[in-house]
Chains A and B, each alone.
Chain A
Amino acid sequence: MDALYIRKVLDGDSEAFRYFLKEYKHMAFTIALAVVKDEFTAEEVVQNAFLKAFRNLDKFHQQAKFSTWFYRIVTNEALMMHKKQKRDIVDLIPEYEEELLDESAILTMQQEEQQHLVNEALKQLSSKEALALRLFYLEEESVKSVGEITGWTTADVKTTMHRARKNLQGVLNQLLNRSLKV
């Protein structure tokens, strides 16, 4: 399907690009949000990424997956934006202690509550860790694909994933404790 619409856009039908917006906007937003942590900035990142993809569509090699190519653009745009923001904000990511997580408390939550909890937890993780988790689990990408999208080595992806899972548990614990106190 992607290939068909790529051809249409390359043949001059700009309206055909709407297909990619519909298909990839949510995932692109999720990736961008994992890195920049702010909805408005994430939207700006997604806009820039789509525009870049449109401009460079003729350079996309059909042998590769469009999603991988596009997510790489989103990731680069998001990391660039994050770098710009970092000049003003000091990124303080604490190391979380490995505590036993009350899984049942999470599993009994409503779907929306779970999603809210995860989003909040990911906001507190470092951009690199949140990005790795999002890419690995959401699209069920392999370690190799995550590496292709982010440009990290396999070892780097594995290490980041390990640290990210551990820190996610720590943040979830903290958020759960806080909500219990309230």
Chain B
Amino acid sequence: MKPQQPTNDLTSHLLKSKVVEMPFSDFEDRMMQRIVQQAEVSKQAHKDIKMSTLCFTIGCCLGIVATAWGYAYQWRTSSSGDTPLFVPVVLVGILALLHYRWPELKRRLGQAK
């Protein structure tokens, strides 16, 4: 693609290759700091996405197993109501609580020691 010739010679003369230099000498370093921070955040976000996908998959599998197990148990004991599902539901609840509160629990356990 060939650049078109400017029609006005003076404008061309005045504007050609007259870049305004960035007046802030520490711009590059400040920018690199932000870039490195951004890279770390992206890396962490990537890790978190992987982890959450893994947890979701495990959760799904556990859910299917728990449901199947619940039905099997119900069928064997032929009891009625929601009682057989009570155990897995409580288990999932405890696991979820542990998952979300784990850092806090760990910190408290450390303080107790």
Contact = CB atoms under 8 A, between A and B. Distances in A.
Interface of A: 12, 14-15, 17-18, 21-22, 25-27, 29-30, 33, 39, 43, 46-47, 50-51, 54-55, 101, 103, 106-107, 114-115, 117-119, 133-134, 136-138, 140-145, 165, 168-169
Given A14-B35, A21-B32, A54-B35, A138 B15 contact: yes
Contacts, number: 94
A133 B8 CA distance: 11
Q: Size class of B's contact patch? A: 20 to 34
B86 interface: no
A39 B23 CA distance: 8
Query: What 8 pairs across the A-B complex have the smallest Cβ distances?
Result: A137-B15, A14-B39, A140-B3, A30-B20, A29-B22, A26-B19, A142-B3, A118-B14
Contact of A47 (B7, B8, B13, B31): B31
A143 B2 CA distance: 10
Contacts of B16: 137-138, 140
